[in-house]
Structure 1
Amino acid sequence: MDPIDLNLLPALDALLSEASVTGAARRLGLSSSAMSRTLARLRAATGDPLLVRAGRGLVPTPRAMELRDRVHTLAREARDVLSPQPDRLDLKALERTFTIRANEGFVGLFSAPLVAAVTAAAPRARLRFAPKPAKEAGPLRDGEIDLEIGVLGAFAPEVRTHLLFRDRFVAAVRSGHPMLSAPMSPALYAAARHVVASRRGSFTGPVDVALEALSLRREIVAVVPGFADALRIARQSDLVALVPQSCLADEALSQGFASFALPVATPEIAVSMMWHPRMEADPAHRWLRRTVMSLCRPPAP
């Protein structure tokens, strides 16, 4: 494919609009001699004289008249494509579906206020909450999801991140559980039977590492995919569920439960928002990120 010099497009637009080499040069901030050379290149490229002498001025050829409106439209569109997008965003007219991938804990706690905030500001916008089977950047790269919410892992290096809040694990037991009547200790906690949530089906985690340092080991009798599943089992048994504190800020999940701080130290849970840099400057995406940041505050202790 022969190379095309797109710099000729605004020059042709100016020449056809002004019908004057001097006027076109002034419009583009060029010298008259430079614009004359550009006109010669345009004549060679189009195979048409474009502007011909008529007395002391220039008049367009039929081909130039035919091209004038098309060239003006193309030049304007090229400037729009190659210029920064304005920050102005008409939310009332925004028609777009945003996909957010997050675990059920985030969806349970923040989806209702997020949907309310988004639809109040942008009535034609829609939110899709997608399940989070694994940590992978492919859907972000491919544009299948707009935002990923969760704990940072071995993610793609180009992915942008913003910390939303810090969480911590707590122990949750049904109301009236026998453990609630005695002072909590690592030994008492380890002696109980436990249910944990793990997408990968793992029976061990940071709590077990901390207990092992004290020569203690807890008995895990059930592993489930999500924290809501762990709470459902704990509500109907004497098992102790390990869940983020934010889960218990969800009234639907916290009914009938008591919680207590773990008797061993575990790392904080840093909940972040992730997006691909291809969406960094998109005005609608930036608005969505600001909305998520304003709503996702750490749950009260």
Structure 2
Amino acid sequence: MARPDLNLLITLDVLLDEGSVTRAGERLALSPSAMSRALARLRRATGDPLLVRSGRGLVPTPRALDLRDRVRRLVAEAEEVLRPAAELDLATLTRTFALRGSDGFVERFGPALVASVGREAPGVRLLFSRKEKKSLGPLRDGVDLETGVVERQLPPDVVGVPLFTDRFVGVVRDGHPLATGKVTATRYTTARHVHVSRRGLTDGLVDEALRPAVREVVTVVDGFGAALALARATDLVATVPERHTADLREGMRSFELPFRAPSVTVSLLWHVRLDADQAHRWLRDRVIDVCRREVGEV
């Protein structure tokens, strides 16, 4: 079955409104003969004459009267669909956004972000989840925003913008031998370390920067919070991003690494399907503002 020509809905709406082929043609910038052909097509499509001669004019049939309001609504809805989205009203916006981040993101940036969003859009709900592994799949499956370190070129369907740069620092409990005095490369490498790796690896950026020296990694965990919890309660040394873990390190002793500390750029990522969405764009701006303000990169 052939698909109907939906342009005929506009023609029918104008014909029923004007009750005249000539006037309808003028409104649609069509000649009387073109409008007559359009009316003939409408009659074939509906199986009804729609407009019939009465004296000098045309009058609608019962079928036309039945269709008139429905056609008008359909045309109005179609025109609304094809217009740009209405200006965003944050006061009435009701929406849930899913944000996925590395361990420590909520502790570091969540309070300020929740406060900022709540002031502007009290009907918005933020759903935070922890990034268990490096994968862009969740962005394609429904996660609105994700933070992370981009290690290779992003695919065409993912958009990213840098949030801030971060560098690694060493962290120990108060009273640890490394909590006092100058931390040399020898003191650092001879200490016992906890390493963070979601994939269970025993080395990473820190070890690459430390070579040819080698540190003694005795424990591997999958998040910064777990690493700092162990360092807080033992003599293990945790080496973590400074800005990202500021709140998690409260009450502990941090020190500069005795070698060129590796740095990373934390980015905000989203799927291209959401790039033009007004509410999503507003939330992206809030995340960017909050993160940069909290780390002093505004």
Same structural fold, with TM-score higher than 0.5 when normalized by the shorter chain:
yes
Residue 73 (structure 1) shift: 0.7
Within 5 A, what are the aligned runs for 1:22-33? 22-33=22-33
Cα distance in 2, alignment partners of residues 263 and 17 from structure 1: 82
Distance 1:65 1:223, change over 3 A: same
Distance 1:2 1:223, change over 3 A: same
| 2:241 equivalent in structure 1 | 244
Cα distance in 2, alignment partners of residues 300 and 81 from structure 1: 42
| 2:257 equivalent in structure 1 | 262
Work out which of the residue numbers 191, 216, 223 in structure 1 matches 2:213. 216
- Residue 93 of structure 1 aligns to a residue whose secondary structure is coil
What is the number of equivalent residue pairs in this alignment?
295
Cα distance in 2, alignment partners of residues 262 and 157 from structure 1: 37
| 1:74 equivalent in structure 2 | 74
Cα distance in 2, alignment partners of residues 257 and 188 from structure 1: 18
Cα distance in 2, alignment partners of residues 21 and 123 from structure 1: 52
Gaps of 5+ in 1: none
| 1:284 equivalent in structure 2 | 279
Within 5 A, what are the aligned runs for 1:1-301? 1-86=1-86, 88-143=87-142, 145-153=143-151, 156-212=155-211, 215-250=212-247, 253-297=248-292, 299-300=295-296
Residue 266 (structure 1) shift: 4.6
Residue 264 (structure 1) shift: 2.6
Cα distance in 2, alignment partners of residues 137 and 35 from structure 1: 53
- Residue 255 of structure 2 aligns to a residue whose secondary structure is strand
- Residue 254 of structure 1 aligns to a residue whose secondary structure is coil
Residue 235 (structure 1) shift: 1.4
Contact 2:149-2:266 at 8 Å conserved across structures: yes
- Point out the more displaced range, 169-178 or 106-115: 169-178
Contact 2:148-2:268 at 8 Å conserved across structures: yes
Amino acid at match of 1:264: F
Amino acid at match of 2:223: G
Contact 2:106-2:128 at 8 Å conserved across structures: yes
Contact 1:104-1:228 at 8 Å conserved across structures: yes
Residue 242 (structure 1) shift: 0.9
* Identity among equivalent pairs (%): 55
Distance 1:38 1:94, change over 3 A: same
Contact 1:161-1:275 at 8 Å conserved across structures: yes
Cα distance in 1, alignment partners of residues 32 and 162 from structure 2: 56
Cα distance in 1, alignment partners of residues 11 and 277 from structure 2: 30
- Residue 296 of structure 1 aligns to a residue whose secondary structure is helix
- Residue 13 of structure 1 aligns to a residue whose secondary structure is helix
Cα distance in 2, alignment partners of residues 136 and 181 from structure 1: 40
- Residue 80 of structure 1 aligns to a residue whose secondary structure is helix
Residue 180 (structure 1) shift: 4.0
Deviation track 1:23-56 (CA, whole Å, cap 9, x = no partner) reads: 2223333333332222222112111111222222
Contact 1:227-1:247 at 8 Å conserved across structures: no
Residue 248 (structure 1) shift: 4.0
Residue 291 (structure 1) shift: 1.4
Residue 300 (structure 1) shift: 4.8
- Residue 272 of structure 1 aligns to a residue whose secondary structure is strand
- Residue 104 of structure 2 aligns to a residue whose secondary structure is helix
Contact 2:224-2:245 at 8 Å conserved across structures: no
- Point out the more displaced range, 151-160 or 238-247: 151-160
Gaps of 5+ in 2: none
- Output the TM-score relative to the length of structure 1: 0.90
- Point out the more displaced range, 65-74 or 283-292: 283-292
Deviation track 1:194-217 (CA, whole Å, cap 9, x = no partner) reads: 1121111111001111222xx210
Residue 192 (structure 1) shift: 1.7
